[in-house]
Structure 1
């Protein structure tokens, strides 16, 4: 049973579920459902899919995550960045508005879910670490800009196209003669209202004496108010006949059973985008889940999260949805509303199911401009251009990674942008580790501590050189250390001993071992002893598997102070080098 609970967390929290948790989860579900109805419709629009696909993608996936996921507050469903990635990937293989486009979106969810499940089963969550935080921040910032720009066509009522920022802006400029000014008024007013709601409505309501819970619900219902007001306006004044584009007929039904496309050509075309979506979605989801879990001293299992998200995406593929992940905004709302268990997600799914059956006719006259305003307000909070300033001040290498990710995402597209960001991060990491920090150290007077001779007043011995290696040694940086030692020992003929202080070395690969052997033979020919100090147990175990320790032209010391005492005494130094 314990092993079964590991893979089915619902058996863990479900056995302690009580009336108090039910009440709190139900209240949270009401608030989140109110928020998700317009948001789901909007994100489907962003993905280039019919509006009902957003609702469908928020029902079965939420239930499946509640069964398999470990976070008690994460709310799974369509999110802005994944919706943008979906539109970019599917738009390459099918024409928007066709049946093939919807099938491709289902296939993308299927591939993403399958990849996440495989990662979870084989416990490969660490692969997401190849996306550094600066790259993620840069990608999300660029995506926010792209998403907001892509929605300008709905605010203006024009039929612009494009996947990159230059393409979008150029297309909008070409179609400016098509601008529908009624649509512009609706879109601008809806955007301004939603910005005001987000920043000012709750403080205003609290100032009027409204209870905090009710104020919170009313604030989260702000997009619903915009939807109702603009829908009634378009219907009442017949604005659809004056060129205002509306959502139109939305099927009044529960999520249908669907089948992703399994043709080799389609699977091959969508495989790489599916992997990128999976990793980006997983990183975003786990970051949110860990943050919320820490606030209640709970923990999540990243590998089980992979299984939960994989199951959610598989569910989306067979119920008319598209790729999903844990959303930041909806998860925070779920947490703040008092959700105690994943049952809140199940209740949310039931609420959305009711909306799919009973409320969809009410959005027939909903203007696309209102959905675009909802998206713009949501994604602009993701844009953080200050990350450029912060990384420039802290690390030029991280700045390059961020700047490259933002620039390439905006100009070449989201897939190339994130792939280039990952490649840049890996290359910069290899470059930095190829030139490890190696400090020559000396003894701090009156202590047993050793510090950098360029930073501190320390005692040194002209016949002894101690180099503290502050990086693991592997094929990329092994030659760097070899050349550094060679240069140092040829600078002064009085040197009789070299000590490599390995306190920060966690790994020595075979290439580095060969370099150390070369250094050892070279120093031996020069009459200079080579010694090691403070070697960690696992590193020493590996070194002993070779002949290096036996052939060492010196000794291995437990501490650097032991090496100092032994080698600074003239007779000891002479014996050690022989």
Structure 2
């Protein structure tokens, strides 16, 4: 039964489901449904798909996640970044508005779902770690700017295109003379209203004496109000006849479940984009899920989350939708509204289904500018320009990866930006790892602690050289370690013992093992003994299976203090430190570089 619960989490929380929990989930579902209806329509527009497709992607996926997902608050559905990636991937294969375009989007969701499920079954959730936080932050910031720019054409009421910032803005500027002033007025008014709702409405309502819960519901209903008012205005004044672009007829009813096209050529063309969407969607989703779970001392299973998101995408494809993932804004709303179990998502799906059945005829006169305003306000909250400054101040290499991701995403495309960010992050990691921090250390007088001679007042003696390496040893840095040891010994002819201090070494691969053997051999030829200290248990277990310890000219010490007591007892018991270097600091800890 436990094995089955691992793949069907609903069997776990479903056993204790009661009326109180159901009430909490129903209240949360009502609030999320109100928020999700305009978002679903808007994100479908962003993906280049008919509005109803956004609704389709918000029904069965939520039910699938309720069955297979582990987060109690995650709300699955269309999101801005994945919608943009969908438009970018499918737009290269078909023209928007065609059956081929919709078919490709459905295949993309199905393929992404299969990849996610496979990754979950094979426990490959760690692959998401290839996307560093600076790369993700840079990509989301760039995507937010790109999405907001792409929606300006709907605010202006002009026809414009492009897949990067340069093409989009160039196309829009060339069409400024064709701006529809009525559309512009609607777009500016809706955008301003939604920004005000987000920033000031709740505070105003609380000031008027409304209960916090009711004030929160009314604030979340802001986009619905914008949709309702602009739709009524467009209908009353027949704005469609005056050049205002409307959503038009939205089919009522639910889609008939069907399998996507199994065109092998199409699948191969969409596979790279599906993989990127899968990884990025998973990273975004699991980050939100873990954050919300921690607030209630709950936990999620990342590998099962892969299966849950994969099932959601397969369900989306079968119901005529496009790729989905866990959304930050709606998940936070779901959490704040009191969602207790994933059943809240299933109840939300019922609400969306009811809206799809009965409310879509009311949206015929909805101006596209209103949906564009909804998207702009939502995605600009994702733009974190302050992160660029913070990253630059903290780590120039991480800033390089972030800046490259932002620039390439903006000016070359979404997929190129992600891939370049990942490649650059890995390259910078390998470069840093190939030159690990090392320090000559000495004993702090009166203690058994060893610290960097350039930072602290320590005693070192003359016959023993202790080198601490602060990185695991592997192929990328093994040659660096050899050169470092040889260089230090060459500078100090009085050295009789070299001790490699290994408290931070978690692994030694085959290349590094050969380097240690070579260091041992060359030091032996120079009349210097080679020792190891503070080697971790798992590393020591592997070294015992090699010949290194048999031929080691020195010893393996449990602690560096034991090594110094054995090799240089006079220095080990010094009561006064040697004269510090001019740039030496106090013996207080100064940071991680100890």
User: 1:188 maps to which residue?
Assistant: 188
What are structure 1's unaligned runs of at least 5 residues?
Answer: 573-578
| Cα distance change on mapping 1:197 and 1:462 into 2, 3 Å | same
- The aligned counterpart of 1:339 is 339
The residue number in structure 2 matching 1:130 is: 130
* Separation of aligned partners in 1, 2:9 and 2:480: 49
TM-score (norm 1): 0.98
Q: Which runs of 4+ in 1 moved over 2 A?
A: 569-572
1:285 maps to 2:291: no
**CA apart distance, 1:71:** 0.3
The alpha-carbon deviation at position 261 of structure 1 amounts to 2.0
Q: In the alignment, what sits opposite 1:114?
A: 114
1:15 match: secondary structure: helix
Shift of residue 200 of structure 1? Answer: 0.7
TM-superposed deviation, 1:255? 2.7
**Alpha-carbon distance change, 42 to 571 in structure 1, aligned in 2, over 3 angstroms:** closer
Cα deviation for residue 493 of structure 1 reads 1.1
Structure 2 match to 1:61: 61
Does structure 2 conserve the Cα–Cα contact (< 8 Å) formed by 1:106 and 1:259?
no
1:486 maps to what in 2? Answer: 486
RMSD: 1.1
Partner of 1:317, secondary structure, is helix
Matching residue of 1:385: 385
Give deviations 1:15-34, integer Å, cap 9, x for gaps.
10111111111111111000
Aligned to 1:177: 177
Match of 1:299 in 2: 299
Answering whether residue 420 of structure 2 is matched by residue 414 of structure 1, we say no
Shift of 1:259: 2.8
**CA distance, structure 1, for counterparts of residue 146 and residue 452 of structure 2:** 48
* 1:569 Cα deviation after fit: 4.3
Per the alignment, residue 146 of structure 2 pairs with 146
- Is the CA contact (8 Å cut-off) linking 1:110 and 1:317 kept in structure 2? yes
Instruction: Give the whole-Å Cα distance in 2 for the aligned partners of 1:158 and 1:447.
Output: 75
Report the counterpart of residue 590 of structure 2 in structure 1.
none
Distance 1:331 1:571, change over 3 A: closer
> Separation in 2 of the partners of 1:276 and 1:154?
28
Residues 73 and 289, structure 1, Cα contact 8 Å, conserved in 2 = yes
Inter-partner Cα distance in structure 2 for 1:298 and 1:568: 52
Q: 1:479, 1:550 → 2: CA distance?
A: 22
Give the secondary-structure state (helix, strand or coil) at the position aligned to 1:290: helix
**CA distance, structure 1, for counterparts of residue 265 and residue 94 of structure 2:** 12
Instruction: State the partner residue of 2:586.
Output: none
The residue aligned with 1:467 is 467
1:205 maps onto 2:205 in alignment? yes
Q: CA deviation at 1:505?
A: 0.3
What corresponds to 1:502 in structure 2?
502
1:2 deviates by 1.3
| 2:329 counterpart residue number | 329
Q: Give the equivalent residue in structure 2 for 1:348.
A: 348
SS of match in other structure, 2:16:
coil
- Whole-angstrom distance in 2 between the partners of 1:408 and 1:447: 53
Distance 1:533 1:492 in 2: 21
Q: Is the 8 A contact 1:501 1:533 kept in 2?
A: yes
Distance 1:16 1:259 in 2: 35
Q: Hey, what's the Cα distance between the residues in 2 that align with 1:465 and 1:443? A: 12
State the 1:571 CA deviation: 14
Following the alignment from structure 1 to structure 2, what is the Cα–Cα distance between the partners of residues 168 and 256?
Answer: 36
Displacement of 1:229 after TM fit?
A: 0.5
- Contact 1:434–1:477 under 8 Å retained in 2: yes
Give the drift of 1:546. Answer: 1.3
The separation in 1 between residues aligned to 2:176 and 2:71, in whole angstroms, is: 47
Q: 2:459, 2:571 within 8 Å by CA — same for their partners in 1?
A: no
Q: What is the deviation of 1:418?
A: 0.5
Q: CA deviation at 1:570?
A: 8.4
Q: Is 1:105 matched with 2:105?
A: yes
- CA, structure 1 residues 11+454, in 2 after alignment: closer, same or farther (shift >3 Å)? same
State the Cα distance separating 1:258 from its structure 2 match. Answer: 3.2
Distance 2:487 2:202 in 1: 67
SS at match of 2:530: strand
Cα deviations by residue, 1:245-278 (Å, 9 ceiling, x for unpaired): 0000001011332332211110111000000000
Shift of 1:388: 1.2
Aligned partner of residue 491 in structure 2, secondary structure: coil
1:278-303 deviation line (CA, Å, top 9, x unaligned)? 00000000000000001111000000
Aligned to 1:575: none
1:437 matches 2:437:
yes
The residue that corresponds to 2:550 in the other structure is 550
Structure 1 residue 212: Cα displacement:
1.4
Q: Write the mapping of 1:506-545 to structure 2, written as runs, cut at 5 A.
A: 506-545=506-545
Secondary structure of 1:500 counterpart: strand
Kept in 1, the 8 Å contact 2:69–2:305? The answer is: yes
Q: Does 1:236 align with 2:231?
A: no
Question: Within the alignment, does 1:359 sit opposite 2:359 as a pair?
Answer: yes
Instruction: After superposition, give the CA deviation of every residue in 1:218-264 in whole Å (9 maximum; x if it has no partner).
Output: 11110010001100111100110010000000010113323322111
**d(CA) in 1 for partners of 2:234, 2:86:** 30
Question: Alpha-carbon deviation of 1:47?
Answer: 0.3
| 1:250 correspondence with 2:256 | no
Unaligned ranges ≥5, structure 2: 573-594
- Contact 1:465–1:495 (CA under 8 A) maintained in structure 2: yes
In structure 1, the residue matched to 2:33 is 33
Is the CA contact 1:42–1:372 (under 8 Å) kept in the aligned structure 2? Answer: yes
Asked whether 1:156 is paired with 2:151, we answer: no
Cα drift, residue 479 of structure 1:
0.2
The whole-number CA distance in structure 2 between the counterparts of 1:460 and 1:168 is 64
Could you report, residue by residue, the CA deviation over 1:89-142 in whole angstroms, capped at 9, with x for unpaired residues? 000111110000000000000110000000000010000000000100000000
Contact 2:460 2:571 (C-alpha < 8 Å) held by counterparts? no
Q: CA deviation at 1:65?
A: 0.2
| 1:328-369: CA deviation from partner (whole Å, max 9, x where unpaired) | 000000000111111111110000000000000000000000
SS of equivalent residue, structure 1 residue 247: coil
| Whole-Å separation in 1 of the counterparts to 2:420 and 2:492 | 46
Question: Which position in structure 1 is the counterpart of 2:402?
Answer: 402
SS of structure 2 residue aligned to 1:422: helix
CA shift at 1:306, angstroms?
0.3
Rounded to whole Å, the distance in 1 between the matches of 2:511 and 2:333 is: 52
Q: Are the aligned partners of 1:51 and 1:247 in contact in 2 as well (CA < 8 Å)? A: yes
